[in-house]
Amino acid sequence: MQLSFEEDALILIAGTGQLPERVKHKVTGIDDPKLLQRLEKGLLTFLHIISPDFDAILYLAKVAKKNFVPFHVLGKVDRNNPDKVINFKVRKKLRRQGVKNVYLTDDLKEWNALSFRLKRMRTRMCNEHGPFDFIGDIHGCYEELNALLDKLGYVTTDAIKNSTLQKKYFHPDKRKLVFLGDMVDRGPASDKVMELILELNDQNIAYAVLGNHDEKFLRYLKGNPVRVNSGLERTIRQFERKSEAFKNNVIRFLKVLPSHYVLDDGRIIAVHAGIREDMQGKDKREIKDYCVFGEPGETKKDDGLPVRQDWGRDYNGKAKVVYGHTPVKEPFWINNSIDIDSGCVFGGKLTALRYPEMELISVNAFDTYSSGVDFVDFRKEWNLKD
Ligand SMILES: [Mn+2]
């Protein structure tokens, strides 16, 4: 039998089976200092305790949760010794404590034949070294996107694909695009933007992370109930002229977009709304919500707008973080993080961060397509000196 685990999982192995000998990434016990270090970094961790007590399991569930990593329990149980904490009856109880999977067997043969497979995490792309061009919130600004790609040096040639003539995109310096989410809504041509991004992704020169608008549009496309506002009504209208086949491609594309990417050996992170250091590279639901929507528990101000999240001001991670989501007049650097959503759809500009050059390239908006959202001045909000 083959079990599969996330690359950042904590796996408690209980019982006297021989399994741990074949397993790397072991820690020796609950008080091994390597345990917490590994969980913090999101490294695969095996812990073998022959007969763990319930407190130990509770403790592990707690630290796994705190570090946003999934926790699994594997056990070789002994039917003749039902007093052990790990037995067939505690499966449900363990799940209630936050254990993701409980695998128990009393069959030694089966136990000895267990093998593991690691599920690749979409957030981890350390081996992608770029160079990259990160592009902030496009919001359907198709013309500006094309102008920016031009300015960044992307070129097209004609190619034959499925016996039709098609544009093939490339960059002479083999650069890659990373879109920071909020590709749709508010703007004039979200359908064309998605068409282009899907094509670029197909041709392996573009990645994207999920933004809150993309997430909501995906829910709409899948037929889930959503509130049609904040520019979604425009996207829906624009997509009316599109084929079902294309809409299905968009669903397939958006469905697998990760919350963020860890790139270039962990030197730079791409994300829509922001990410704390202890979340980077991990993949739990809470992290996805934080990356896509911003800090949880955002309260509304008197005017109904959310209170600005302060994550950037408090960020102290080693990795650079490039993000969007909050429109600013000028790209804004603080503590190794940069907001490059320069509000194109609100009449600002569409900005790219070139990496590793750390150069900013932008194209001014050709029009003001949407109003009602104010540019944020972090310096003023946080009383920063220039
Ligand atoms: Mn957003």
Model confidence over 224-242: pLDDT tens digits? 999 999 999 999 999 999 9
Bond before 131 cis per omega within 30 degrees: yes
CA distance 283 to 258: 8
Whether the Cβ atoms of residue 325 and residue 345 lie closer than 8 Å to each other: no
Distance 341 CA to ligand 1 centre (A): 9
Q: Tally Cβ neighbours within 10 Å of residue 267.
A: 15
Mean pLDDT in residue range 296-321 = 73
Distance 226 CA to ligand 1 centre (A): 16
Q: Which CATH architecture has domain 2-119?
A: 3-Layer(aba) Sandwich (3.40)
The answer for residues whose C-beta is within 8 angstroms of residue 194's C-beta and 6 or more apart is: 183, 184, 250, 253
What is the chain's mean pLDDT, rounded? 91
Distance 376 CA to ligand 1 centre (A): 13
Distance 179 CA to ligand 1 centre (A): 12
CATH number assigned to the domain with residue range 124-381, chosen from the 4 options 2.120.10.10, 3.10.20.90, 3.60.21.10, 1.10.10.10: 3.60.21.10
**C-alpha of 379 from chain center:** 27
Q: What phi-psi label fits residue 304: left (phi over 0), alpha (psi between -120 and 50 degrees) or beta? A: left
Distance 107 CA to ligand 1 centre (A): 51
The secondary structure element, H or E, covering residue 381 is helix 378-381
On the question of pLDDT at 81 being above 80, the answer is no
CA-to-CA dists, residue 291 to 119, 143, 235, 328, angstroms: 21, 27, 23, 18
Distance 9 CA to ligand 1 centre (A): 30
Distance 264 CA to ligand 1 centre (A): 24
When pLDDT is cut at 50, 70 and 90, the band that residue 86 belongs to is: confident
Distance 335 CA to ligand 1 centre (A): 21
What integer pLDDT is reported at residue 385 of this predicted model? 77
CA distance 337 to 331: 10
Distance 351 CA to ligand 1 centre (A): 15
Q: Give the bridge partners for 49, in sequence order.
A: 14
On the question of pLDDT at 305 being above 70, the answer is no
What integer pLDDT is reported at residue 309 of this predicted model? 66
Distance 137 CA to ligand 1 centre (A): 7
- Of the chain, the percentage scoring pLDDT greater than 90 comes to 69
Helix axes 190-202, 142-151, angle to 10 degrees: 40
Distance 308 CA to ligand 1 centre (A): 12
Query: DSSP 3-state assignment of 208?
Result: strand
CA distance 318 to 337: 10
Distance 79 CA to ligand 1 centre (A): 54
Distance 213 CA to ligand 1 centre (A): 6
Distance 187 CA to ligand 1 centre (A): 13
User: DSSP code of 226?
Assistant: -
Whether the Cβ atoms of residue 281 and residue 299 lie closer than 8 Å to each other: no
Each domain of the chain, given as residue ranges in start order, spans 2-119, 124-381
Distance 334 CA to ligand 1 centre (A): 19
The tokens describing 103, both together, are 């695998």
Distance 256 CA to ligand 1 centre (A): 18
Query: DSSP 3-state assignment of 245?
Result: helix
Distance 307 CA to ligand 1 centre (A): 14
Distance 369 CA to ligand 1 centre (A): 16
What integer pLDDT is reported at residue 79 of this predicted model? 77
On the question of pLDDT at 10 being above 70, the answer is yes
Neighbours of ion ligand 1 (CB under 5 A): 182, 211-212, 325
When pLDDT is cut at 50, 70 and 90, the band that residue 331 belongs to is: very high
Same fold, 2-119 and 124-381: no
When pLDDT is cut at 50, 70 and 90, the band that residue 21 belongs to is: low
When pLDDT is cut at 50, 70 and 90, the band that residue 369 belongs to is: very high
Distance 56 CA to ligand 1 centre (A): 41
What integer pLDDT is reported at residue 83 of this predicted model? 61
On the question of pLDDT at 76 being above 60, the answer is yes
CA distance 75 to 103: 6
What integer pLDDT is reported at residue 225 of this predicted model? 93
Distance 272 CA to ligand 1 centre (A): 7
pLDDT single digits (tens) 164-216? 888 899 999 999 999 999 999 999 999 999 999 999 999 999 999 999 999 99
The tokens describing 309, both together, are 């999240």
Closest CA to 282 of 296, 298, 266, 264: 266
Distance 260 CA to ligand 1 centre (A): 14
When pLDDT is cut at 50, 70 and 90, the band that residue 360 belongs to is: very high
CA distance 37 to 41: 6
What integer pLDDT is reported at residue 164 of this predicted model? 81
What integer pLDDT is reported at residue 138 of this predicted model? 98
In terms of Cβ atoms closer than 10 Å to its own Cβ (0-12, 13-18, 19+), residue 345 is buried
